[in-house]
A and B are shown apart, each in its own frame.
Chain A
Amino acid sequence: MATMNIIQAVGDALHVAMQADEKVVVLGEDVGKFGGVFRATVGLQQAFGDDRVIDTPLAESGIIGAAIGMALYGMRPVAEIQFSDFIYPAYDQIVNELAKYRYRSAGLFPSPLVIRTPFGGGIRGGHYHSQSPESVFAHQAGLVLVAPSNPYDAKGLLLSAIFADDPVMVLEPKRVYRGPDHGTNWGSHKKSEVPSGDYRVPIGKAEVARPRTGRGIAVSLITYGAMVHTCDKAAELAAQEGIDVEILDLRTLVPYDLERVAEAGRATGRVVVANEAPRMCGYAAEMSAVIQEQCFDWLQAPIVRVTGWDTPFPYTLENDYLPSPARVLDALRTVAHYR
């Protein structure tokens, strides 16, 4: 056990995987000598050489295209896309190639690989270092999408992803890479205790990030990634007003833990779904629809979504764009007091 932040946990997972299996290679822009712009791959090239930790030319479709070719021939590539905002040159490779390879080849040519990419705002990154693209990729059958919210899950999910039989996109919550909030570190957070060596967090399983206390009006709050921590603050405030919140951290977005989601909907009948991405056709829309389908008879209030606005991600006003604890709190009040 060691105390780690998310960056350290990701780096540790890569070390463990590369040590365990020489088929694992890491490729991307600046991942080698420099160790990545977020420092997630520090020390990897020194440990495993520049044939296995590859500094690529600056071309995302080449990174993903080459990774697909490697995977087809039996390697286990872990590709880094420096910011998920820059993933779109590789969109064709991801959507038309990677996601469909197993299917279109009758199972002859699976291409299991991992795409690690930081997502989400709150780092003063403007349009192009802040977006949340999960819905765009959730819509593409054949991809697995995971989004850890803490160091323990970041390592365990990445190891599951690397040794999975399917292509997995790991959306890393960059705002909370080094601490659950601005100016904090992961220090005493219970999920910063990271076991050494190999362990796996299962793909497809959600987890309760904050249990209900049994005191107050019960509300289920469904979220993932960095928003888990925004939601936790809101839940703290809500508790003072007699609202008893369970936070469900989805961890896997595709294929998501339908059983656990439906359970949450039925347990309280009052549901808030929060995501940073725009509202239109966003991930929260899928959650709202499925809970409505599965839990209609249990619902005590309309499901409320808390999301980014349907605008491009802004620079100066990013804190007005991002769902704040206050906005989440308001949604919790709305569903708690609905009658």
Chain B
Amino acid sequence: MTARTAQNPPELASANPSYNDFEQNTTSPFPTLTVGATADQLGLFRVLSPDGKIIQPDSDLENGTGVSDADALAMLRSMVRQRVLDDRMLALQRQGRIGFYGAATGQEAGTIAAGHALELRDWIHPALREGGMLLHRGWPLWQYLAQIFGNQDDTSTKGRQMPCHYGSREFGYVTLSSVMATQMPQAVGTAYAMAMQHAAPDRPICLGAIGDGATSEGDFHVAMTFAGVMRPRGLGLPLLLYVQNNQWAISTPVAKQTAAPTLASKALGYGLVGARVDGNDALAVLRVMRAAADHVRRGGVPVFVEAVTYRVGAHTTSDDPSRYRDERVTQQWAALDPIERLHNYLKIRGIWQDADLQALREHSDEEVRSTLAKVEQVPPVALETLFEDVYAKVPPHLQAQLAEARRYHAKAQ
């Protein structure tokens, strides 16, 4: 036995995934979705290799992957639109036309495929980079853009929040706050209410989404605890907890957030089901999230899924990653692009060509540009909206303050 000295420190576990694991054409078995299955939590389920080939074709499954062409194409369309939209918004921010933006670049599979696994009656308590789920559900692009501009058409926040704080009750997407991890205990409560109002197995479910950094927050652990313990009607909560591990919380790498070997392994300590999946592989994310959704819809123990990806862009438009990380490493991960992977897969399937991708990009770009042109013309929110919705009815003291504010608003114009 070697004595531990300063020269010979104990080896620390690291939740920072190794790039080499992702370059390889290997996969772990499909998650068993059972409590305590550490292999599910430490492994990495993948369907496609980085160049879009099926790693282990399963002849029992549709297309050898378990994903229909219609599903794959639907996801690709939304992923490409998200990329185009994000690029356009980043450009707009640099031009000073919008104040802020948080892009999902490189995380399109983790966002869109997880959203695609849900039904429309299911709810999402999102983190920052899940806006694409809402668009994928059918929320109109003009509403997305109106929220970013905070103008009169901003139905998400009435111009009260920074960009990217989307919300829609109709599309089951709870308006984002900027606060870390608070959505997770709330997702537990929403799932509880769903379980009380709808009987299993046919019941809506709730997805609580979080990033790797926020798994250090108390509310994450509180949510995991409550998720394991609460058993309305004697069943597990209809709840999916979903972390997109993009390996960076602004400048802090995930290895400085936790000494756990993987984020998914945290499920074990709370009595939850855990699973780990390649977040850049849309087919893998869809398959795992669909199985997990079905599992909790029927009353199984809630599932905590880690999708491993990489934040190839900045945290937000207020950030400069070249100050704290080696951008050559970023370029390596960027080469594991989720859109390229799905695109290549569909090409190999023979139902999709390079020209189709090009046409899809152009179509998305045109859609974003023309919608943007309209949304930019919409006037700002009216002054009285400053005082509305604080309470259900505007109380007397806020009526008085509105009257006061109105005097100065009039003078300012």
> Which residues of A does B touch, CB under 8 Å?
25, 51, 54, 56-57, 59, 61-62, 64-75, 77, 89, 92-93, 96-97, 100-110, 112, 141-142, 144, 164-166, 204, 255, 258-259
Contacts and interface: CB of A to CB of B under 8 A. Distances in A.
A204 B182 CA distance: 30
B153 to A, nearest CB: 11
Contacts of A102: 389-392
Contacts of B185: 61-62, 64-66, 68-69, 93
A253 to B, nearest CB: 12
Nearest to B169: A108
A291 B387 CA distance: 24
Contacts of A61: 182, 185, 218-219, 222
Contacts of B197: 73-74
A104 B193 contact: no
Query: 8 nearest interchain CB pairs?
Result: A69-B189, A65-B185, A165-B392, A73-B193, A66-B189, A105-B175, A69-B186, A69-B190
A112 B390 CA distance: 12
Contact of B155 (A74, A108, A255): A108
Contact of B396 (A64, A96, A110, A255): A255
Contacts of A258: 396-397
Contacts of A57: 222, 225-226, 229
Contacts, number: 156
A66 B230 CA distance: 10
Contacts of B218: 61, 89
Nearest to B229: A57
Contacts of B388: 107
Contacts of A77: 189
Contacts of A68: 185-186, 189
Contacts of A96: 177, 179, 182
Contact of B233 (A51, A64, A105, A144): A51
A97 B179 contact: yes
Nearest to B396: A258
Given A51-B232, A70-B189, 16 more contacts: A61-B182, A65-B188, A68-B186, A69-B191, A69-B206, A70-B190, A72-B186, A73-B123, A92-B182, A96-B179, A107-B158, A107-B388, A108-B155, A109-B175, A110-B392, A142-B390
B157 A105 contact: yes
A261 to B, nearest CB: 11
Contacts of B182: 61, 65, 92-93, 96-97
A104 B392 contact: no
Given A51-B233, A258-B397, A109 B188 contact: no
Nearest to B234: A51
Interface residues of B, number: 51
Q: Could you say which of A77, A100, A141 has the most chain B C-beta atoms within 10 Å of its C-beta?
A: A100
B223 interface: yes
A105 B391 contact: no
B160 interface: yes
A77 B230 CA distance: 15
Nearest to B154: A106
B165 interface: yes
Contact of B189 (A51, A67, A104): A67
Contacts of A103: 160, 389-390
Contacts of A59: 222, 225-226
B75 interface: no
A75 B232 contact: no
B395 to A, nearest CB: 4
Given A104-B161, A105-B156, A72 B389 contact: no
B215 to A, nearest CB: 15
Contacts of B161: 104
B193 A62 contact: no
Interface in B138-196: 154-158, 160-161, 165, 167-169, 174-175, 177, 179, 182, 184-194, 196
Given A73-B193, A75-B193, A104-B175, A66 B188 contact: yes
Nearest to B195: A51
Contact of B226 (A62, A75, A101, A165): A62
Nearest to B221: A59
Nearest to A95: B179
A75 B191 CA distance: 11
